[in-house]
Amino acid sequence: MSILTLALEKVDFLPPTRVTDDTSVLTLKNLVFEPLLKWNDGHVQPALFSTWTHSPDGREWRFTIRDRATFHDGKPCTASDITDFIDGIMDAVDTFGMKWSYARYLADAEIVPDGDTAIIVRNPHPIADILDIFSEFYICRFAADGTPVLGTGPFRVLSFEPKVRTELERVSGNGEPQRVIALCEPSADARYALLKSGDVDAALNMERVEDKLVFDAAFQWGKAVNTLSVMYYLNCSKGIFRSPQVRLAANHAVDTAALCREIFADLAVPSASIVSPFHLGMATAGLSPIAYDPDKARALLADLDGDRKITLRTPTFMPERAPEISDFVAKALEAVGFEVEIEVETDRPEYARQIGRKEMGDMAIFDSSPHSTYRILNDKISSVTKAVWWQGYDDAEAERLIAAANAAVEPDAREQAYAACLTHLNANPPWLYLLHPVDVFAARKDIAGLSIDHKGTLTIA
């Protein structure tokens, strides 16, 4: 096999300042670019940065670029390339035109080159969470034609037609494949058809077919639970969900195992907290999902004064199957005594902006994609930061635990501290926890070396 042909939902190389959780784009990014650090189930490993050290108090960090790191046009990758990249992200906005949170995380940090081969990060407070942040930064430059395709990864871009096709070539060595062709096909059913017809060797995101996925024995299959959380923000600022008891009741009311089975055909697993089983802290926390117990939900609601009318907001997509999930959840909540009105927003970017403005009704379905426990706590839970996705949750013990986790420096201490945060949030939920989807790829049986990670990235050995 000298050429591997893939069918992906998207074929794109986004601008350097655009961070994404899209599995197709991440698959291409991981072939052509390198992250500063490689995320691996909550912890980090060397990548473009080969080594790093820190001061005992965790306020100063030094990261060294790996030997002979070179962009695909022959330019050596220097420390200034990396600091320029970071500066660009600080001023950038996301897909919905909202400013990235990275500028807030690093507002007090000084990030400077230390010669050509290292950078130094100085911060007035411990900043071990810089490891999480750097694992999301894939260093790239613009090519002469203006496309953001120059990386330091194992494959270079030979040709690129956005939303249509790209061809990649292995930079060095005799490993297989020597070339990768990625074809854009937005429909999962059409990607499956391309595989069956022999037009492609592998297809990603097979879990997104319209009907129940048939795992044809003629192909090899790979799947992995994704770090993404599908959940409902609960309005903790006003209305019925200001009450911790009512938030807990909502979580007891929904049979998330049945939701995964009926709506996702078992290609999802129930959530236990604000993050996935693969985030920092979850291995130690060892949490189970909040039990489906409608009788307990009714008991928690028994002393509730006033009406039980709630507005549930949903888009038509992102997350996948959002309307079907919302119908399922509404029926479950009504079964324990809530009165639910579903409000549908068809403009998905505007829906995100509305939630950012706290225009969420009583509850709003969303997905939480960062693979960093630190980021989710900072962006969505903490009442100290009151960031864009925070919906009014205010819990003194949670804030104490978050502060302790942010101050932890060594890996074991961080794991333990974040585990304490997640355990508290399992018992005192700010959201209605639902599920983590399962990503699936299919490939010809004679193709070796393919796998999928918990970010949904197809990897090539």
Is pTM, for the whole model, over 0.75? yes
pLDDT digits 0-9 by tens, 254-280 = 999 999 999 999 999 999 999 999 999
Closest CA to 274 of 351, 348, 366, 338: 366
Average pLDDT, the chain: 97
- Whether residue 98 is predicted with pLDDT greater than 80 in this model: the reply is no
How far is C-alpha 446 from the geometric centre of its chain's CA atoms? 31
Closest CA to 156 of 166, 171, 143: 171
Residue 241 lies inside a defined structural domain of this protein: yes
Residue 459 lies inside a defined structural domain of this protein: no
Closest CA to 246 of 297, 306, 311, 307: 297
pLDDT band with cut points at 50, 70 and 90 for residue 1: low
Q: In angstroms, rounded to a whole number, what is the distance separating the alpha carbons of residues 4 and 272?
A: 38
- 156 CB-near residues (< 8 Å, 6+ apart): 32, 72, 168, 169, 171
In this structure, what CATH number is given to the domain that contains residue 329? Answer: 3.10.105.10
Give the SS3 label for residue 202. strand
Give whole-number Cα distances, 59 to 55, 182, 251, 360, 403, in Å: 6, 42, 39, 38, 15
pLDDT above 90: percentage of residues in the chain: 94
116, two tokens: 């050509």
* pLDDT value for 172: 84
Is residue 10 within 8 A of residue 204, CB to CB? The reply is no
Running DSSP on this structure, what letter comes out for residue 70? B
Q: In angstroms, rounded to a whole number, what is the distance separating the alpha carbons of residues 360 and 376?
A: 19
- Name residue, tokens 């060892």: 286
Residue 372 lies inside a defined structural domain of this protein: yes
Residue 354 lies inside a defined structural domain of this protein: yes
Number of domains in the chain: 1
Range of the domain at 365: 229-438
Residue 201 lies inside a defined structural domain of this protein: no
CA angle 363, 365, 369 (to 5 degrees): 130
Running DSSP on this structure, what letter comes out for residue 140? -
First to last CA, the chain: 13
- Whether residue 91 is predicted with pLDDT greater than 90 in this model: the reply is no
How far is C-alpha 261 from the geometric centre of its chain's CA atoms? 22
At 345, which amino acid appears? E
- Whether residue 97 is predicted with pLDDT greater than 80 in this model: the reply is no
Residue 399 lies inside a defined structural domain of this protein: yes
Residue 175 lies inside a defined structural domain of this protein: no
226, two tokens: 């994704």
Residue 280 lies inside a defined structural domain of this protein: yes
